[in-house]
Amino acid sequence: MTSADYFAAKLAHETDASDLHAARKAGERIAVVDVRSDEAWAQGRVMDAIHMHYSEIPARAPQEIPLDTPVVVYCWSPGCNAADKGALAFAQLGYEVKVMIGGFEYWVREGYPVEDADGVHRRPVDALTGIARIRTRA
């Protein structure tokens, strides 16, 4: 395998918070699936995500997500492999699936919309992970 083959394969199976946000903003049809626990889901999630613990995917996914819908799964952070477990379950069912590298942690740190029981919120952009957009008056 060449380096080009490796990176092409990697990009075919991974996305990041920035690319997912841009794809959704552009109107791409993507099922975003949070594979974390109920407690983690309650603390906050990617806006409009579907909550489906990775252990539930084989039973629930065929009933809830059309097979021709691309799927992006995420868990807490780069230190969590639940997204990989979820991606494997979706792939075994025949879905086109990607893992959102960085997980929910990087979604939040980059300042994208977070949803919880109180509604939709945005946290400040972490300068170590995202670019803070500064508005100036013209």
Q: What is the CATH number of the domain that holds 78?
A: 3.40.250.10
Q: Which domain holds residue 114?
A: 14-121
Query: pLDDT tens digits, residue range 77-94?
Result: 988 999 999 999 999 999
- Please say if the pLDDT value at position 26 is more than 90: yes
CA 132, CA 102: separation in Å to the nearest integer? 18
In a domain, 105, yes or no: yes
Number of domains in the chain: 1
What radius of gyration do the chain's Cα atoms show?
A: 16
In a domain, 112, yes or no: yes
In a domain, 126, yes or no: no
In a domain, 84, yes or no: yes
Residues 55-65 have a mean pLDDT of 98
In a domain, 7, yes or no: no
In this prediction the pTM is 0.91
In a domain, 2, yes or no: no
What is the percent of the chain with per-residue pLDDT over 90, rounded to a whole number? Answer: 84
Question: Which of 68-77, 104-113, 129-138 is least confident?
Answer: 129-138
In a domain, 136, yes or no: no
Q: At a CB cut-off of 8 Å and minimum separation 6, what does 94 contact?
A: 67
DSSP per-residue codes, 112-128: --EEETTEEE-PPPPTT
DSSP per-residue codes, 46-114: ETTPEE--GGGHHHHHHHHS-TTS-EEEE-SSTT--HHHHHHHHHHHTT--EEEEETHHHHHHHTT--E
In a domain, 24, yes or no: yes
Q: Please state the length of the chain.
A: 138
